[in-house]
């Protein structure tokens, strides 16, 4: 097991240094600081890590203008620093949970993810850079990594690695398909299409269609990167989830994203591991015990996600709008659920409406994220008179004012 940890650390470090050179210091310095917090102040290490490592990432974003680099198709160490930040914070928070909260008082996710023993330096270093996952992600949990390195849990099966060949090859093949699609379609409908004179002359449905096409082309490169990374995690055996499943570290379900019937389901299929991280370490911890989460928790979670990506207007535009996107989808889902037994035809109509609005609202909201800057984002939204924003807001207001009918109660048997 020590060999596995050492190999993971050395190969991960070489990959990072080859790609980013001295930029790796911005990954290791906050990681070492957090490790010191865990060693010296275990019951407060999560809070201390949040208070230092996350602001450090923000400063790195600001100093290196990461959004401009990514928009131009470039790559710098800030992307790896983003994934490292998620790993460092989750590790510290889970250790704080394990040393300061009784298991009986933990939430289900805390029970599953907490650790009570400080990882040794090699375990921690291998967790941070193992399998080259910092290059494009995804993040994963330290408890899972330690079990994998020690061949515990589902990894007790010695044949896991040999069984990984076919699912790993299939995943790798998927990544190549998405790469080819992106390279081909980007010549037909690049992101700059929304700046072309002909776009301004289009009617509303045609502009929305262009937005959908541009966003799909951009998503293809994410599908490629994430599936490529996932294939590496499957080949080494870490992607094994037990019972013949290999989706432990899956970060996207491309077909489910493109055919998503509700915005509320979108995080289950896109950037999955980051969505889970936001749920476990932001969203759930903003909800007071005994209370239900609401729009405020969703908004704050999305703002954390926006800042994590960088200090660019386009990110704030997208993630603040996505709060409306999710809330509007929940309203429609509640109405669909209320009518499912009362009137299936009405429920099916609501599902169809929700599906169409999901496509429109998602791609409309996402374009500023891809365009990054203030002016292009405002330009593309104003080109359709902010209609999707008004529609999402109207649905949210309707959901607050008019409650769906209660589902008819089952008849009591005589």
Q: For residue range 363-409, what is the model confidence (pLDDT) as tens digits?
A: 999 999 999 999 999 999 999 999 999 999 999 999 999 888 876 65
pLDDT at 367: 97
More confident residue, 161 or 346: 346
**Residue 66: pLDDT band with limits 50, 70, 90:** low
d(CA 281, CA 89): 9
Q: What is the pLDDT of residue 73?
A: 63
Whether residue 229 contacts residue 137, with contact meaning beta carbons closer than 8 Å, is answered with: yes
* 395 or 413, which is more confident: 395
From the candidates 26, 114, 269, 309, which is the catalytic residue?
309
Establish whether 61 is a catalytic residue.
Answer: no
Average pLDDT of the segment spanning 32-58: 98
pLDDT tens digits, one per residue of 79-91: 899 999 999 999 9
Q: What does the pLDDT look like over 119-159, one tens digit per residue? A: 999 999 999 998 888 888 899 999 999 999 999 999 998 88
Residue 411 has pLDDT above 60, yes or no: no
The DSSP output letter for 245 is B
Which pLDDT score, from 0 to 100, does residue 135 have?
A: 83
- pLDDT for 132: 80
Asked if 333 contacts 264 with a C-beta cutoff of 8 angstroms, the reply is yes
Given a contact cutoff of 8 angstroms between Cβ atoms, the answer to whether 249 and 230 are in contact is yes
- Residue 72: pLDDT band (50, 70, 90) is low
65 or 217, which is more confident? 217
Task: Find out whether 132 and 12 touch, Cβ atoms under 8 Å.
Answer: yes
Q: What is the pLDDT of residue 412?
A: 44
148 in Cβ contact with 190 (< 8 Å):
no
- Asked if residues 65 and 54 have their Cβ atoms less than 8 Å apart, the reply is no
Whole-angstrom distance, CA of residue 269 vs CA of residue 403: 29
Q: How many helices (H) and strands (E) does the chain have?
A: 20, 0
Residue with structure tokens 């499943």?
Answer: 245
Is there a contact between 386 and 231 (Cβ–Cβ < 8 Å)? no
Give the whole-angstrom CA distance, residue 102 versus residue 94. Answer: 13
What is the overall mean pLDDT for the chain?
A: 93
Choose among 297, 325, 294: nearest CA to 400: 294
Q: CA-CA distance, 82 to 67, in Å (whole number)? A: 13
Q: Tokens standing for 318?
A: 């997208």
Tokens of 139: 């993040």
Please answer whether residues 305 and 274 qualify as being in contact, where contact means their C-beta atoms are separated by less than 8 angstroms: yes
Could you report the per-residue pLDDT of 316-345, keeping only the tens digit for each? 999 999 999 999 999 999 999 999 888 999
Is 70 exceeded by the pLDDT of residue 267?
Answer: yes
Whole-angstrom distance, CA of residue 39 vs CA of residue 119: 10
Q: How far apart are CA 397 and CA 142, in angstroms?
A: 41
294-311: pLDDT as tens digits: 889 999 999 999 999 998
Determine whether 25 is exposed, middle or buried from the number of CB atoms within 10 Å of its CB (0-12, 13-18, 19+): exposed
Mean of the pLDDT values across residues 8-31? Answer: 92
Whole-number percent of the chain with pLDDT over 90:
82
* Stretch 46-65: mean pLDDT: 93
**Residue 280 to residue 113: CA distance in whole angstroms:** 9
- Give the CB-side neighbour count of residue 413, counting CA atoms within 13 A: 0
Close Cβ partners of 154 (under 8 Å, ≥ 6 residues apart):
160, 240, 241, 242
pLDDT at position 166 is 96
pLDDT at 413: 40
Q: How far apart are CA 116 and CA 110, in angstroms?
A: 12
pLDDT confidence of 291, banded at 50, 70, 90?
A: confident
DSSP tag of 114? -
Long-range contacts at 203-206 (CB < 8 A, ≥ 24 apart): 204/384, 204/387
- What CA–CA distance (Å, rounded) separates 181 from 118? 45
Determine the pLDDT at residue 414.
37
Token pair recorded at residue 409:
């109660």
Torsion angle, CA of 132/134/139/141, rounded to 10 degrees? 60
């Amino acid at each position: 097991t020590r060999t596995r940890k050492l190999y993971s650390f050395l190969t991960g470090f070489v990959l990072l240094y080859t790609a980013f050179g001295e930029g790796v210091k911005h990954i290791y310095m906050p990681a070492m600081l957090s490790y010191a917090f865990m060693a010296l102040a275990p019951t407060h290490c999560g809070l201390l890590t949040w208070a230092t490592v996350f602001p450090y990432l923000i400063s790195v974003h600001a100093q290196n203008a990461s959004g401009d680099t990514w928009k131009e198709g470039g790559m710098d160490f800030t992307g790896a620093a983003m994934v490292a930040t998620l790993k460092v914070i989750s590790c510290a928070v889970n250790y704080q949970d394990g040393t300061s909260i009784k298991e009986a008082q933990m939430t289900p996710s805390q029970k599953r993810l907490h650790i009570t023993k400080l990882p040794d330096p090699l375990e921690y270093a291998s967790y941070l850079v193992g399998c080259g996952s910092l290059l494009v992600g995804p993040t994963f949990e330290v408890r899972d990594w330690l079990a994998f390195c020690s061949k515990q849990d589902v990894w007790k099966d010695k044949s896991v690695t040999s069984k990984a060949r076919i699912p790993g090859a299939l995943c790798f093949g998927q990544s190549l398909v998405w790469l080819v699609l992106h390279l081909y379609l980007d010549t037909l409908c690049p992101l700059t299409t929304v700046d072309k004179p002909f776009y301004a002359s289009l009617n509303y449905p045609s502009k929305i269609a262009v937005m959908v096409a541009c966003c799909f082309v951009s998503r293809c490169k994410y599908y490629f990167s994430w599936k490529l990374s996932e294939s590496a995690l499957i080949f080494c055996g870490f992607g094994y989830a037990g019972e013949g499943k290999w989706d432990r570290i899956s970060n996207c379900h491309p077909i489910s994203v493109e055919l998503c019937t509700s915005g509320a389901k979108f995080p289950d299929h896109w950037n999955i591991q980051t969505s889970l991280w936001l749920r476990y370490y932001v969203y759930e911890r903003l909800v007071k015990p005994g209370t239900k989460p609401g729009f405020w928790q969703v908004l704050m979670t999305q703002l954390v996600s926006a800042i994590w990506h960088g200090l660019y207007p386009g990110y704030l535009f997208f993630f603040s709008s996505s709060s409306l996107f999710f809330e509007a989808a929940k309203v429609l889902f509640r109405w669909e659920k209320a009518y499912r037994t009362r009137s299936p035809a009405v429920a099916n109509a609501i599902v169809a409406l929700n599906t169409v609005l999901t496509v429109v609202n998602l791609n409309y909201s996402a374009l500023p994220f891809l365009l990054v800057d203030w002016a292009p984002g405002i330009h593309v939204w104003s080109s359709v008179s902010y209609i999707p924003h008004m529609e999402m807001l109207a649905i949210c207001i309707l959901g607050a004012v008019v409650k769906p009918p209660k589902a008819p109660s089952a008849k009591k048997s005589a």
